[in-house]
Chain A
Amino acid sequence: MAFEGLSEKLQKVIKDLTGRGRLSESDVKLAMREVRMALLEADVNFTVVRSLVKKITERACGQDILDSLTPGQQVVKIVNEELIELMGSTHSTLQYSPRTPSVIMLCGLQGAGKTTIAGKLALYLKKRHNKRPLLAACDVYRPAAIEQLKVVGERVGVPVFEQGQGDPVAIARAAVAYGAAHSNDVLVIDTAGRLHIDDALMEELEKIKAATEPAEILLVVDAMTGQDAVNVAESFNNRLDITGVMLTKLDGDTRGGAALSVKAVTGKPIKFSGTGEKPEDFEPFHPERMASRILGMGDVLTLIEKAQANVDEEKAKKLTQKIKEQKFDLEDFAEQFKQMRSMGGVGAMLKMLPGAGQMKVDESQIDEKAILHMEAIISSMTPAERRNPNILNAGRRRRIARGAGVEVQDVNRLIKQFEQTKAMMKQFSGKGMKKFSRGGRLPF
Chain B
Amino acid sequence: MDEQEKLGFWGKLKSSMKKTRDSLGGRIDELVKYYKEIDDEFFEELEAVLISADVGAEFSAELVERVRQQVKKQKIGDSSRIRELLQSELLAELGQVEPLRLDEKSVVMVVGVNGVGKTTSVGKLAANLQRGGKRVLLAAADTFRAAAAEQLKVWGERAGVDVISQAAGSDPAAVVFDAVQAAKARNVDVLVCDTAGRLHNKVNLMNELSKMRRIVDREYPGAHCETLLVLDATTGQNAVVQAKTFAQACDVTGIILTKLDGTAKGGVVIAIASQLGVPVRYIGVGEGIDDLQTFDAQSFVKAMFAEEGSL
Asked whether A92 is an interface residue with its Cβ less than 8 Å from the other chain, the reply is no
Asked whether A253 is an interface residue with its Cβ less than 8 Å from the other chain, the reply is yes
The answer to whether A46 and B52 touch (CB under 8 A), given A151-B146, A252-B238, A253-B238, is: yes
Q: How many A-B residue pairs have CB under 8 A?
A: 152
Chain B, range 66-107, C-beta contacts under 8 Å to A: none
Q: Which of A46, A197, A254 contacts B262 (CB 8 A)?
A: A197
Asked whether A424 is an interface residue with its Cβ less than 8 Å from the other chain, the reply is no
Asked whether A228 is an interface residue with its Cβ less than 8 Å from the other chain, the reply is yes
What is the bound-complex CA distance between A252 and B145, given in angstroms? 17
In the complex, are the beta carbons of B265 and A227 less than 8 A apart? yes
Q: Which of B19, B117, B147 contacts A151 (CB 8 A)?
A: B147
The answer to whether A249 and B263 touch (CB under 8 A), given A226-B54, A226-B234, is: no
Chain B, range 186-234, C-beta contacts under 8 Å to A: 199-203, 207, 232, 234
Q: Which of A142, A222, A227 contacts B54 (CB 8 A)?
A: A227
Asked whether A175 is an interface residue with its Cβ less than 8 Å from the other chain, the reply is no
Contacts of A143 in B (CB 8 A): 150-151, 154-155
Q: How large is the interface on B (under 10, 10 to 19, 20 to 34, 35 or more residues)?
A: 35 or more
Asked whether B25 is an interface residue with its Cβ less than 8 Å from the other chain, the reply is no
Q: Which segment of A16-24, A110-118, A334-342 sits at the interface?
A: A110-118
Cβ of B149 to closest chain A Cβ, rounded Å: 8
In the complex, are the beta carbons of B117 and A41 less than 8 A apart? no
Contacts of A362 in B (CB 8 A): 203
In the complex, are the beta carbons of B58 and A224 less than 8 A apart? no
Residue of B52, B264, B275 with most partner-chain A CB within 10 A = B52
Cβ of A143 to closest chain B Cβ, rounded Å: 3
Chain A, range 165-196, C-beta contacts under 8 Å to B: 195-196
Contacts of B241 in A (CB 8 A): 1, 3, 253-254
Q: Which of A110, A149, A227 contacts B51 (CB 8 A)?
A: A227
Asked whether B281 is an interface residue with its Cβ less than 8 Å from the other chain, the reply is no
Contacts of A109 in B (CB 8 A): 234, 259, 263
Contacts of A64 in B (CB 8 A): none
Residue of A37, A150, A231, A251 with most partner-chain B CB within 10 A = A231
Residue ID in chain B nearest A361 by CB atoms:
B201
Interface string of A122-152 (1 = CB under 8 A from B): 0000000000000000000111110111111
Asked whether A283 is an interface residue with its Cβ less than 8 Å from the other chain, the reply is no
Residue of B48, B147, B201 with most partner-chain A CB within 10 A = B147
Contacts of A46 in B (CB 8 A): 48, 51-52
In the complex, are the beta carbons of A195 and B261 less than 8 A apart? yes
What is the bound-complex CA distance between A111 and B232, given in angstroms? 9
Interface string of A214-255 (1 = CB under 8 A from B): 000000001011111101100000000000000011011111
Q: Which of B57, B117, B155 contacts A40 (CB 8 A)?
A: B57
Which B positions have Cβ atoms within 8 angstroms of A? 19, 48, 51-54, 56-59, 113-117, 144-148, 150-151, 153-155, 168, 199-203, 207, 232, 234-241, 259, 261-265, 268, 271, 275, 287
Q: Report the 6 A-B pairs with minimum CB-CB distance, sorted nearest first.
A: A226-B236, A111-B115, A43-B236, A151-B146, A143-B154, A40-B57
Extra pairs beyond A1-B56, A232-B263 (11, CB < 8 Å): A41-B56, A111-B117, A144-B153, A147-B150, A150-B147, A155-B146, A197-B19, A225-B236, A232-B234, A249-B113, A258-B236
Give 15 A-B contacts (CB < 8 Å), ordered by A residue.
A1-B237, A45-B52, A46-B48, A111-B116, A141-B287, A143-B151, A143-B155, A148-B145, A150-B147, A198-B262, A224-B236, A226-B234, A226-B235, A226-B237, A226-B265
